[in-house]
Amino acid sequence: MSRAFYPGPIVDAHTHPMIGPTPILGGVPHTADDYLRSVRGWDVRHVAALTIAFAGRPVETRRANDAILALPKSTGGRFFPVCSVHPDDGAAALEEIDRVAALGAKALKLHPNTQRVDVASPAVHAVVARATERGLPVLFDAYSPFDPGQPGKFVLLAIEQPTARLILAHAHGPHFPDLLMYDVLARYDFWKRNVWVDLSATVRLLSGGPFAAQFLWTVRKVGVDRLLFGSDYPLDPAAPAAEAVARLGFTRAELARVFYRNAAELFGLATPLPRRARPKPKRRT
């Protein structure tokens, strides 16, 4: 990515760092430190570390969440934790949400495909409700080749839980035109604009191709203030993912929102001023 085009700070809102001895995705190690080395020289202020919980494995879920929760300390505050539960674990899932929220989680991750849950299920709604009570946005993997009704289920979830903050990772993938429903909803007074869109994976898939202009037009309809940059590391390295966003056609002001401001506001990320911008202490006379 041309730093001349966008020289500002970055929040990467979607990564899967390796938190144990075995790579999570593929056979190549991809630790948090590996990620940080890959973005050396960039102003990457914060990085979301995601995990995914599996049903009926409470000890494993807790261990994975604890590893994610430990990353801020081991990375000098660069990574922030996005923990997970499995909705089918019922009361145990709700208790784990309480625990990770108290320990500093910034959001909760659900993956309907991997976890094999229906977005419309009462269990998912219960998890979203508890996460909302504890102040956590909920990030969903939001592309399913198996459930053609899933985009509408997210709409209903957002309407039925208007105080929830929902993040649709991957922008519905090849079904991105379904995001136009949020432009339709914006015409109604009841709509709370409580849906954000994470551009990870899909923007790299479409950037430079014949659908790129349509994708840009569509996500602008959702609202540039509701868009988040995510790399989906290690599936997509941070550099080409960011370059795909930069090539898409956003203005510089829009890029500042997509790359940094929106995520900083949504996740409550405090960033100290760069050293050169710190005010000098006044001399005592």
Which fold, 10-277?
TIM Barrel (3.20.20)
Contact status, residue 159 vs residue 130, Cβ threshold 8 Å: no
Q: Identify the residue with better confidence: 267 or 30.
A: 267
Cis check: omega of the bond before 234, within 30 degrees of 0: yes
Contact status, residue 68 vs residue 93, Cβ threshold 8 Å: no
Is residue 1 pLDDT above 50, yes or no? no
- Adjacent-strand bridge partners of 168: 140, 197
Is residue 274 pLDDT above 50, yes or no? no
Is residue 277 pLDDT above 50, yes or no? no
Task: Report the pLDDT value the prediction gives residue 24, as an integer from 0 to 100.
Answer: 73
For the ranges 23-32, 124-133, 234-243, the maximum mean pLDDT occurs at: 124-133
Task: Report the pLDDT value the prediction gives residue 56, as an integer from 0 to 100.
Answer: 97
Task: Report the pLDDT value the prediction gives residue 271, as an integer from 0 to 100.
Answer: 60
Report the percent of the chain where pLDDT is more than 90.
85
In Å, how far are 48, 124, 159, 196, 209 from 127, measured between CA atoms?
Answer: 20, 5, 16, 18, 38
Q: How far apart are CA 126 and CA 272, in angstroms?
A: 36
Task: Report the pLDDT value the prediction gives residue 7, as an integer from 0 to 100.
Answer: 83
Q: Residue 31 corresponds to which tokens in the numbers above?
A: 């630790």
User: Which position has the token pair 């998890």?
Assistant: 127
pLDDT digits (tens, 9 = 90+) for 202-253: 999 999 999 999 999 999 999 999 999 999 999 999 989 999 999 999 999 9
Q: Residue 161 corresponds to which tokens in the numbers above?
A: 């839980």
In Å, how far are 68, 80, 82, 253, 267 from 48, measured between CA atoms?
Answer: 10, 5, 6, 23, 10
Task: Report the pLDDT value the prediction gives residue 160, as an integer from 0 to 100.
Answer: 98
Task: Report the pLDDT value the prediction gives residue 41, as an integer from 0 to 100.
Answer: 85
Q: Label residue 182 by pLDDT band (50, 70, 90).
A: very high
Report the percent of the chain where pLDDT is more than 70.
92
For residue 258, what are the contacts with CB-CB under 8 A and spacing of at least 6? 199, 224, 227, 228, 229, 245, 250
Amino acid at site 156: L
Is residue 114 pLDDT above 90, yes or no? yes
Q: Of the ranges 4-8, 44-48, 158-162, 179-183, which one carries the lowest mean pLDDT score? A: 4-8
Percentages helix, strand, coil for the chain, rounded to the nearest 5?
A: 45, 15, 40
Task: Report the pLDDT value the prediction gives residue 135, as an integer from 0 to 100.
Answer: 98
Task: Report the pLDDT value the prediction gives residue 5, as an integer from 0 to 100.
Answer: 67
Task: Report the pLDDT value the prediction gives residue 17, as an integer from 0 to 100.
Answer: 95
pLDDT digits (tens, 9 = 90+) for 131-141: 999 999 999 99
Q: What is the mean pLDDT of the chain?
A: 92
User: Which position has the token pair 């979830």?
Assistant: 157
In Å, how far are 10, 116, 190, 240, 271 from 4, measured between CA atoms?
Answer: 14, 43, 41, 16, 22
Is residue 67 pLDDT above 70, yes or no? yes
Task: Report the pLDDT value the prediction gives residue 198, as an integer from 0 to 100.
Answer: 98
Q: How far apart are CA 7 and CA 93, in angstroms?
A: 41
Task: Report the pLDDT value the prediction gives residue 4, as an integer from 0 to 100.
Answer: 53
Among 168, 195, 175, smallest CA distance to 184 is for 195
For the chain, the maximum distance between any two Cα atoms, rounded to a whole number of angstroms, is 72
Give the residue extent of every domain in the chain.
10-277
Query: Length of the chain in residues, anyone?
Result: 285
